[in-house]
Amino acid sequence: MNKFIPTEKTKVNRLPKRGFYDKDTIYKILDEGIICHVAFTLKDKPFIIPIAYVRTGDSIYIHGAKSNRMMNTITDGNDACITVTLLDGYVLARSIFHHSMNYRSVVVFGKGELVEDREEKITVLRAFSEKIMPGRWDDVRQPNEKELYSTSVLRFHIEEASAKIRTGPVADDKEDYDLNVWAGVLPVKTTFGDPQKDEQLKKDITMPGYLLDFVSSKNK
């Protein structure tokens, strides 16, 4: 099925026209994002933690130290919620009430499962690296056994999910369009600065082409 069935937890009630439940829309947002926020409860107390993630198929993967309390809590089978938000613009209306933002967001519910298989673990860690900086994994030292042992990888199967998207221009009250106030959309875009080399870098090492290509593609 290429669509998630809206549930009590995922159905968009406020401005339902902004809600999307198809996997194509949801996965496109997830694949563009880098940081998610994971919400969970521990000893009846709420927590929400930002962390890097990667999606493969119908699963989201996160990783961290074996001693990480969030990882251990989710591994124990407790419910968790993952959210991702991409900010696309400030919507500056003629009234404060109608100021808004253009955004794309996703909410996911499910349970975490510890990745035990060594090869799957390495495959996921490589996927993390390639998502953040394509080409980097093959250019650096691979994780050794001690590093692999000290790192937990969780598979978070996407059981329930929805997206909420706001696009387009200002939506003011009819009578406010006559006000002498500037209104419009201020686009938001993430750009990258010039790479700064490590002070202990060997003099004969040049900047890799994949890094230059990455910065160029992101700053278009």
Task: Going residue by residue through the chain, which has 220 residues, state the pLDDT in tens, using 9 for 90 and above.
Answer: 799 999 999 999 999 999 999 999 999 999 999 999 999 888 889 999 999 999 999 999 999 988 888 888 888 777 889 999 999 999 999 999 999 999 999 999 988 899 999 999 999 999 999 999 999 999 999 999 999 999 999 999 999 999 999 999 999 999 999 999 999 999 999 999 999 999 999 999 999 999 999 999 988 8
Instruction: In whole angstroms, give the CA distance from residue 125 to residue 119.
Output: 10
Instruction: In whole angstroms, give the CA distance from residue 3 to residue 21.
Output: 6
Q: What is the pLDDT of residue 33?
A: 97
Q: Which own/partner pairs from 114-119 qualify as long-range (CB within 8 Å, at least 24 positions apart)?
A: 114/75, 114/152, 114/153, 114/154, 114/155, 115/61, 115/153, 115/154, 115/155, 118/148
Distance (Å) of CA 88 to CA 97, 136, 187, 197: 20, 28, 6, 30
Closest of 104, 106, 69 to residue 89, by C-alpha: 104
Closest of 112, 151, 113, 143 to residue 126, by C-alpha: 143
Closest of 131, 137, 142, 144 to residue 208, by C-alpha: 137
Exposure string over 13-49, b if 16+ CB within 10 A, otherwise e: eeeeeebbbebebbbebbeebeebebbbeeeeeeeee
Q: What is the pLDDT of residue 26?
A: 97
Name all domains of the chain by residue range, CATH numbers in brackets: 16-89+103-172 (2.30.110.10)
Q: Identify whether the C-beta of residue 212 lies closer than 8 Å to the C-beta of residue 192.
A: no
Closest of 209, 213, 207 to residue 195, by C-alpha: 207
Closest of 114, 119, 129 to residue 71, by C-alpha: 114
Q: What is the pLDDT of residue 72?
A: 84
Q: What is the pLDDT of residue 179?
A: 97
- The structure's pTM equals 0.92
CB count within 10 Å of CB 214 equals 18
Q: What is the pLDDT of residue 100?
A: 97
Beta bridge partners of 112: 156
Instruction: In whole angstroms, give the CA distance from residue 162 to residue 22.
Output: 8
